[in-house]
Amino acid sequence: MAKNKTLSNNDSNSGAKIGIDLGTANTLVYISGYGIVFDEPTIVAYDTATRGVIACGNQAKDMVGKTHEKISLVYPMNAGVVADIRATRSLLEYVFGKLGKLNFEFKKSTLLICCPAQITEVERKALIDLSKSLGIEDCFIEPEIKAGAIGADIDIYATEGSMILDIGAGSTNVGVLSCGDVVVLNAVRTAGNSIDSEITKYMKTQHNLIIGEKTAERIKIELATLIPDDFTKSIEACGRHLSTGRPSSVIVKQEEIYPIILRAFEQIKHCIQVTLEQTPPELSSDIIKAGVSVIGGGAAIKGVKEFIEANLPFACHISEAGCDAIVKGTRQLLKNRGNYLVRPED
Ligand SMILES: Nc1ncnc2c1ncn2[C@@H]1O[C@H](COP(=O)(O)OP(=O)(O)OP(=O)(O)O)[C@@H](O)[C@H]1O
Ligand SMILES: [Mg+2]
């Protein structure tokens, strides 16, 4: 796609409201009147020699662990930071290219990019400049935890405090919200990607098996549990034997993965405890009454609810919105541009 092109190719002259969740693992896009129109991995494949884009999203993800030296795979976002602004640009060009077939005028649209609250002013400005250079002048940025809370059906505009836990790929975020905005926020790097790395290390040291990123993720998705004494599953994992170098496979059991998941959730528990300690007392008593809502890919791990309720003094609600919570929440924030004073009405 040509740079700086206005991306609409239709004759409609009204702009749309576009919300983007730029996640470490997945990018999702909401458009007013259309709903969620894009949900693909946040990854770009480049030609190493020409630096041209070969593939983005699903197609690039399919290449993970299978490329040669002429292709380099880049993750634009990592653990709460814009790791590579050029790759972010390539990804957004791909996203906008796909949206171009919808019936609205890009130039007149408003873009909300949801990012980790910790991004720096420089990163924030880089994203806004990027949006402008792609044809959308009107761009604003909001913390993803705020959008996620709305997407999980929390009334963030109420004076009662609420707590939201987002277990993503690059980071886990714990936020306390009240009166329309974030009051306390903490993040740890313990999340989907770090669990995958721990699984990779375990397979190497305990089974002499070198496994790829995708296999580690599959082991996690299939076997991760926080419920002890309920180990029924096992799967075959393929890789390369450490000493022979030959293709090899082993059966991994659920009880082997349990300690890795438990260690990760002990760190997440600590992050929640620290957040509670930093929360003003009136709000913490609201949270004790209302409990915590969990969003993000990690919310699907078996036993998250049981673990939190056994270790912390409140109830845990696994949001049905899961990985869609943030992008769903953009719908409301696009109505009031994130203004904490204005409760958006339908
Ligand atoms: N059923 C599942 N069990 C365990 N983990 C899962 C499951 N489904 C997805 N995941 C993991 O959730 C993560 C992706 O979640 P999500 O889409 O919320 O992350 P993200 O928003 O891209 O990342 P971040 O919020 O850190 O920027 C990946 O690590 C993925 O492996
Ligand atoms: Mg996320």
Q: Output the CA–CA distances (angstroms, integers) from residue 226 to 70, 107, 196, 262, 346, in the order listed.
A: 41, 48, 16, 6, 39
Sign of CA dihedral 316, 322, 328, 329: positive
| Closest ligand to Cα 82 | 1
Taken in order of first residue, the domains within the chain and their CATH numbers are: 17-147+327-336 (3.30.420.40), 154-318 (3.30.420.40)
* Dist. CA 214 → ligand 1 center (Å): 13
Q: Is 221 close to ligand 1, i.e. is its CB under 6 Å away? A: yes
Nearest ligand, CA 79: 1
Is this prediction's pTM over 0.75? yes
Whether ligand 1 lies within 6 angstroms of the CB of 323 is answered as yes
Determine the pLDDT at residue 71: 97
Answer whether 169 contacts ligand 1 (Cβ < 6 A). yes
Q: Within a 10 A sphere around the Cβ of 13, how many other Cβ atoms? A: 10
Q: Give the span between the Cα atoms of 128 and 123, in whole angstroms.
A: 9
Residue ranges near ligand 2 (ion) with Cβ within 5 Å: 23, 168
Q: What is the pLDDT of residue 3?
A: 37
Residue closest by Cα to atom 9 of ligand 1: 297
Distances, alpha carbon 238 to alpha carbons 21, 186, 219, 242, 321, in Å: 33, 37, 11, 12, 33
> If you search the block for the tokens 């990779």, which residue do you land on?
200
Residue that the structure tokens 């969003």 belong to: 295
CA of 109 to the centre of ligand 2 (A): 24
Residues 168 and 192: beta-carbon distance below 8 Å: yes
Calpha distance 264→260 (Å, rounded): 6
Three-state helix/strand/coil letters over the chain:
CCCCCCCCCCCCCCCCEEEEEECCCEEEEEECCCEEEEEEECCEEEECCCCCEEEEHHHHHCCCCCCCCCEEEECCEECCEECCHHHHHHHHHHHHHHHCCCCCCCCCCEEEEEECCCCCHHHHHHHHHHHHHCCCCEEEEEEHHHHHHHHCCCCCCCCCCEEEEEECCCCEEEEEEECCEEEEEEEECCCHHHHHHHHHHHHHHHHCEECCHHHHHHHHHHHCECCCCCCCCEEEEEEEECCCCCEEEEEEEHHHHHHHHHHHHHHHHHHHHHHHHHCCHHHHHHHHHHCEEEECHHHHCECHHHHHHHHCCCCEEECCCHHHHHHHHHHHHHHHCCCCCCCCCC
Is the CB–ligand 1 distance for residue 217 below 6 Å?
yes
Measure the CA–CA gap between 22 and 168, rounded to whole angstroms.
11
Residue 191 Cα to ligand 1 middle (Å): 8
Whether residue 191 has its Cβ less than 6 Å from ligand 1: yes
Among protein residues, the one whose CA lies closest to atom 29 of ligand 1: 192
Task: Tell me which of 20, 24, 327 to substitute to probe ligand 1's pocket, judged by most ligand atoms within 8 Å of the beta carbon.
Answer: 24
Cα(139)–Cα(115) distance, rounded to whole angstroms? 13
Q: What's the CA-to-centroid distance between 149 and ligand 2, angstroms? A: 12
Q: Give distance in angstroms: CA of 11 to centre of ligand 2.
A: 34
What sign for the dihedral angle of Cα 215, 222, 43, 272?
negative
Ligand 1 nearest atom to the CA of residue 323, by list position: 18
The reply to whether ligand 1 has any atom less than 6 angstroms from the CB of 170 is: yes
| Distance from the alpha carbon of residue 328 to the mean position of ligand 2, in angstroms | 12
- For the CA of 80, the nearest ligand: 1
Query: Is there an atom of ligand 1 within 6 Å of 168 CB?
Result: yes
337: left (phi over 0), alpha (psi -120 to 50) or beta: left
Looking only at the bridges linking them, the beta strands covering 110-115 and 162-167 are unpaired
Q: How many residues comprise the chain?
A: 346
334 φ/ψ angles, rounded to the nearest 5 degrees: -70, -25
Give pLDDT tens digits along the chain (346 positions): 333 333 443 445 688 999 999 999 999 999 998 999 999 999 999 999 999 999 999 999 999 999 999 999 999 998 778 889 999 999 999 999 998 878 788 889 999 999 888 888 998 999 999 999 999 999 999 999 999 999 999 999 999 999 999 999 999 999 999 999 999 999 999 999 999 999 999 999 999 999 999 999 999 999 999 999 889 999 999 999 999 999 999 999 999 999 999 999 999 999 999 999 999 999 999 999 999 999 999 999 999 999 999 999 999 999 999 999 999 999 999 998 888 888 887 7
Tell me, using a 6 A CB cutoff, whether residue 172 lines ligand 1: no
CA distance 239 to 241: 7
- What is the whole-number distance in angstroms between the Cα of residue 278 and the centre of ligand 1? 27
Token code pair at residue 240? 């390369």
Residue 177: what are its φ and ψ, rounded to 5°?
-125, 150
Instruction: Report the pLDDT value the prediction gives residue 12, as an integer from 0 to 100.
Output: 55
Residue nearest to atom 15 of ligand 1 (CA): 297
- Tell how far the Cα of 324 is from the centroid of ligand 2, in angstroms: 9
